[in-house]
Structure 1
């Protein structure tokens, strides 16, 4: 089997497992299903589930990924364009694509599950705080401490809100997520300058 076929199969299996976990959470709540239930629903072994995911939270919210060192280095160095907001948007969009998190149908389902289950909300909030702090740190590393932590937090929170608006709009999936994000950023700019 070639690397690309293996990679495609890995992506398909990952998404199938995530979809099954999200559907089980939607239907039974986060505490209402087991790893065995996901394995059965996805028609894989329990071992396969653990080959792809470390926990139920990772199945529902996606695994916690390490930063892409190349993207981070370019961002911290002032790139790719030299304009902080544009670079933050581009780096975040490329990160979403790099992590394979740009499946719109899965993102819409994930958002619905997060918004409907208090346990998932709490786990998602904990993860968001970690990402927020890391992102703020990168902005301050790039721009210097005089930029201000509060201002950096606001930028990251604004970007997350824009990403959420893309998913909350339940896109039809015919356009790439990056296009939808760029359109939402343009809408935000227009709204803020009108």
Structure 2
């Protein structure tokens, strides 16, 4: 909810105004990009739609691509918050990561976020430059997640100086989420984040079986 911190504390007026401007930019960008195509929308057109200056836009976002990908970026920003306070029980790290992502989706259910995410993913799928920007973001975020895990959790099994195992756990989660997202976006009957959470559970449940999937000759 704009204007309130997740704890329920009311945010200062200046912060609330900044958040409202940010959301207005995202909503306008996704609408314009969807209607006209990413490369056909100029900065002037986007700024005029929200009645802000280019300076305001670039104080809020690094690029037009970041505006288009804001719903995904917001999801993983909240994921990082959840991961910082997660309490491991000694079970598999992958299961912990899945639980954190499901908790994150539960926090993202308000203010039309799910519909913005759907528009963003459809746009990215048909815009190669935006999809490349998204993949670079995912790689950076994966590295940041591993750093938090190594700092906060004891994952010692055997010597792993390059952090290969935690990174693979993160990569498996990212792959499962991507497949879940594809399924959810393609299903017009799924309009809320709950359907995405169900698709994620199914994808994560399939990960162990995928690792031992037999490849028999015909």
Of Structure 1 and Structure 2, which has the larger fraction of its residues in helix? 1
Summarize deviations over 1:40-66 as a string: whole Å, max 9, x none.
Answer: 122334344234323212211128576
Q: Is residue 2:64 matched to residue 1:49? A: no
TM-score in terms of structure 1 length: 0.70
Give deviations 1:74-114, integer Å, cap 9, x for gaps: 33x526x955344312322444547x897111111101110
Residues in 1 aligned to 2:33 and 2:207: alpha-carbon distance in whole angstroms: 36
Q: Who is 2:29 aligned against?
A: 21
In terms of Rg, which structure is larger?
Answer: 2
Asked if structure 2 preserves the Cα contact closer than 8 Å seen for 1:21 and 1:60, the reply is yes
TM-score normalised by structure 2 residue count: 0.64
CA RMSD, aligned part only? 3.9
**Equivalent pair of 1:18/1:60 in contact (CA under 8 Å):** yes
Partner residue in 1 for 2:176: 158
Alignment length, in residue pairs?
188
C-alpha change, 1:70 and 1:40, in structure 2 (3 Å) is: closer
Distance 2:23 2:189 in 1: 18
Deviation, 1:37, is 1.2
Deviation at 1:121, TM superposition (A): 1.4
Counterpart of 1:115? 125
Q: Give, in whole Å, the separation in 2 of the partners of 1:102 and 1:46.
A: 25
